[in-house]
Structure 1
Amino acid sequence: MPTPVIAIFDIGKTNKKLFLFNERYEIIWEKAEQFAEIPDEDGDPCEDLKRLTHWVESSMSEVLDLPDFTVRAVNFSTYGASLVYLDAECHPIGCLYNYLKPYPDAVRRQFYQTYGDEATMALQTASPNLDSLNSGLMLYRIKYDKPRLYWRIWYALHLPQYLSFLFTRQVLSDVTSIGCHTMLWDFEKNQYHDWVRAEKLDNLFAPVLPSDSFLKAIIMDRPLYVGVGLHDSSAALIPYLASFQEPFVLISTGTWCVSMNPFNSQPLTPEELQYDCLNYMHYKGQPVKASRLFAGYEHEQQTRRLAEHFHVAIDHYVGIDYNPVLIEQLREHSMPVNGHGEPTGSQMLSMRGSLFAERNLSAFATYEEAYHQLMLDIIAQQLISTNLVLADSSDGRTSVKRIFVDGGFGKNPIYMNLLATAFPDIEVFAASVAQASALGAALAIHHHWNPLPLPGNSIELKKYTAFQPQRRTTSLGSF
């Protein structure tokens, strides 16, 4: 008897994954692939949309042909801040531009001169001013910088909804994509911002469906429930919201380390926005206060640099365990940054630059010593970033009792021990939720495809103290 499953495409900047979850939400089949970026028409790196589209469609055909499984539903979790443009015949046009693509100064000036100062716009849209990382500004840029492309666009779909479109041929939008630092949404009015309407960009956006909605489709003669897709950071929060009622912060780690506090309803301040604090959108539509740090990318770049300098494998850090004695030595004898001493608080608070990149690797005797300093530098910024969302009352206090870390850094003992030391009054756990964003996308449409009640499996957490992890695994909460 074939096992009923839901297929989840989890598309990151680096890794493209497909999972099959059974009715108990266990991963029983998976595949993954990495794609090299290609140049866009300006020579900047971007996603290979044609290859991604082919991989998604062919992978879906592959799992539908597997005799051991019956695919009942499919949903999507992808990175945000990226739009796919469709022409009048619903064919993709242009590029899936990289959110790190340089932004023209003239277009930026024109936008803020027309619609108001940066601080006001950022507050109203709960979006730090991040140029191409604000997908609304990317579409605005295309209108004025690439008008030939713009006038061919009939629909602009965020990446999760484009993947859903591949199977349903229906265009739609969802709140988790619209609400993730796009500068499109007015969080005060709970609608598209006035500038979007003034530019008539809202005409390019499809109707908004709730993130737990589904569409029906026939794929290879098989009926399927097809989800509308979610922004991956919002999806990763869903298993935790289903499991824990007491206030917590989730640090979802990958290319970005996103600290999310769904229990913080305090309005964003100009200072918080300046330091990359923003609102994500809960899949039920409520704002989620969050702060972002480019720490995963920083870790990837600096471990490559370390590998080259010390002539070791790129993943040599995997075998490095937490050394508290070495940490204390590094703290007591702070290594200078470019000969100018330790970075100032304002330098750390910029959150955009790299501290470790400025360090002279010749000052370190061993790879282990250098890697511990790298993690100290990352945690210095992580402490500031997470603190931005902790205070959930007007007097600056926090009700948060636990911090959960999922993703790559949750498996890094140095990161986890340093994080526990940085927050001595809060319990710090590495979460062993397998593929949280993919699981969240599956749970979002649970009641549409799965006849069983939500599973009672516990989320397993490994607690870390200031010096080293406890030698046991605890189970706290359940779905």
Structure 2
Amino acid sequence: MNVVAIFDIGKTNKKVFLFNENYQIVWEKSVILAETVDEDGFPCENILELSKWVADRLTELKELKDYILKAINFSTYGASFVYVDEQGKALTPLYNYLKPYPETLLENFYPKYKGKKKFAVKTASPVLGSLNSGMQIYRFKEEKPDLFAKVKYCLHLPQYLSSILTQQYFTDITSIGCHTGLWNFKKMKYHKWVTNEGIIDKLPPIQNVEETLKIEDGISVGIGLHDSSSALIPYTINFTEPFVLLSTGTWSISINPFNDTPLTSDELKKDCLCFLQNKKIPVKAARLFAGNTHEVQSKRISEHFGLPNDFYKEITYNKDIIADLRITNFKESSFNTDSYIEKCPFENRNLEGFKNHEIAYHQLILDIIAQQVLSTRLVIDNSPVKKVFVDGGFSKNSIFMNLLAQAFPEMEVYAASMAQASALGAALAIHESWNPKPIQNDLIDLKFYKH
């Protein structure tokens, strides 16, 4: 059967999937690769190991007797640059976006471009240090000018992996448009600092993510996408009525493809950003560290009550517990403040006050939902949205889903499930170049939650 191979590269798990022409996964493999360290001893992705793993899997795929490999694409985490020389060889480690950023460089940079606040609004990027991948290039240029002079191209990770197969170099709009600090959203072109600082020539031409390049055996290879943008593609293909996607994992990201109003500095302060869809369409998004909060606080509950770490998987929604908690512990109206969004109230709750783990866990989700509602409303405001789709970890959490539906009585709230959203998006992006069949409209399973 004809298949497309998608390399879906997360920070922890590296996966490869084969999708058939109906976009069902017919083969998969995953690995966790050991990290290495950069020259400062900071942990980072081992780019040589990763490249080797991709090459080895490709050899394996070509030898599979039951499948005819028609196309390949990549979906990877963002905010990560690979710097290559004339031969396409990586010149540095793949620096980690969590690496602390030198204050002196920030103090040197922002005043040249009207200060942090104006720069953040123009580039739709909260000031996040190394998480603004454009600032990684600036740091490299300032700290290692001699090595930087040898750089032919700065490639985001998906485009680097694609270039290993094609020896061709491109920039993808979904990677540039995601809190990189590189793009001027008002003028819809690179921010002038990219030219002023002598970086523009090291960014390869922008290519449409639907375009592919032919390699040996007639295989079509895509240029790759940033994983958050890729995960949105199945939804925009399947649903035409306005919706918000709440993508949940370590971060809960509320994404509204139907809201392209310019970001305000107030929204930026509350962790809103814009990213660009594959047609250069801005999408407003708001981030909340909810999955991380859930992990840390549920561990606190498990230790307090002497339970296994995943105790919560056994707990289902109990409306009586919620009704009691709303009377005793929780006044939603008093939480509608800016500071509330930054910190989950559960962090300050004394676990001695809860009779059992079930009540404590319901309280944790109530507190997370109060934050989540404030975060999601930031992108819903002034847009025609009537549906909320939740995917990822929280979509399987009945307490979270029921409380979210109650918090948005004017919306239809659905738990959405599909196999591997970002991988599926990367496959759909290059549909035209390998798949003769029309795209079906049942790629996503929905479960409706009544409020």
| Shorter-normalised TM range | over 0.9
Match of 2:174 among 151, 173, 176: 176
CA distance in 1: counterparts of 2:402 and 2:5, whole angstroms? 35
Question: What is the aligned counterpart of 1:372 among 359, 362, 372?
Answer: 362
CA apart distance, 1:257: 1.6
Task: Give the letter aligned to residue 211 of structure 1.
Answer: V
User: What is aligned with 1:469?
Assistant: none
Report matched runs for 1:154-173 at 5 Å. 154-173=152-171
Measure, in 1, the Cα distance between the counterparts of 2:12 and 2:365: 21
Residue 433 (structure 2) pairs with residue 448 (structure 1): yes
Higher helix share: 2
Q: Residues of 2 paired with 1:167 and 1:87: CA distance?
A: 16
Structure possessing the higher relative contact order (Cα contacts under 8 Å, 6 or more residues apart):
2
The aligned runs of 1:273-284 (5 Å cut-off) are 273-284=268-279
Does 2:377 correspond to 1:387?
Answer: yes
- Partner residue of 1:472? none
Confirm or deny: 8 A CA contact 1:107 1:145 kept in the other structure.
no
Contact 2:344 2:371 in 1 (8 A): no
Q: How far apart are residue 189 of structure 1 and its match?
A: 1.5
Q: 1:383 to 1:29 in 2, by over 3 A?
A: same
Cα distance in 2 for partners of 1:45, 1:373 equals 36
Task: Confirm or deny: 8 A CA contact 2:134 2:181 kept in the other structure.
Answer: yes
Q: Secondary structure at the match of 2:58?
A: helix
Alignment identity in percent? 53
Aligned pair partner of 1:258 in 244, 253, 265: 253
C-alpha deviations, 1:315-357, integer Å up to 9, x for none? 2222221222222333333289xxxxx877222233xx55444
Which residue of the other structure, out of 77, 86, 106, is the alignment partner of 1:79? 77
1:312 Cα offset (Å): 3.0
Instruction: Give the Cα separation in 1 of the matches to 2:294 and 2:11.
Output: 15
Matched residue of 1:93: which SS? coil
Task: Note the residue ranges of structure 2 that are not aligned, 5 or more in a row.
Answer: none
Aligned to 1:431: 416
Say if 1:172 and 1:400 are closer, same or farther in 2 by CA, change over 3 A.
same
Given the two structures, how large is their TM-score scaled by the length of structure 2?
A: 0.93
Map 1:229-378; keep pairs closer than 5 Å: 229-334=224-329, 345-350=337-342, 353-378=343-368
Note if contact 1:379-1:418 (Cα within 8 Å) is conserved in structure 2: yes
Distance apart, 1:117 and its partner CA: 1.4
Give the superposition deviation at 1:87. 2.9
Q: 2:446 aligns with which of 438, 452, 461?
A: 461
SS in 2 for 1:381: helix
1:412 partnered with 2:397 = yes
Report the Cα offset of residue 225 of structure 1. Answer: 0.4
The one-letter amino acid paired with 2:9 is: I
Q: Which amino acid aligns with 2:220?
A: Y
Shift of 1:457: 2.9
Task: Summarize deviations over 1:92-119 as a string: whole Å, max 9, x none.
Answer: 2322222222111111111112221112
User: Using a 3 Å threshold, how does the CA distance of structure 1 residues 375 and 151 change in structure 2: closer, same or farther?
Assistant: farther
Moved more, 445-454 or 11-20: 11-20
User: RMSD across aligned C-alpha pairs, in angstroms?
Assistant: 2.1
Which residue of 383, 386, 405 corresponds with 1:401?
Answer: 386
Instruction: Report how many aligned residue pairs link the two structures.
Output: 449
TM-score, length-normalised on structure 1? Answer: 0.88
Alpha-carbon distance in structure 2 between the residues aligned to 1:42 and 1:366:
46
CA deviation after TM superposition for structure 1 residue 149, in Å: 4.5
- Structure 1 CA distance for aligned equivalents of residues 345 and 194 of structure 2: 37
| Matching residue's letter, 2:117 | A
SS of 1:92's equivalent in the other structure is coil
CA distance in 1, matches of 2:440, 2:386: 25
More deviation, 165-174/27-36? 27-36
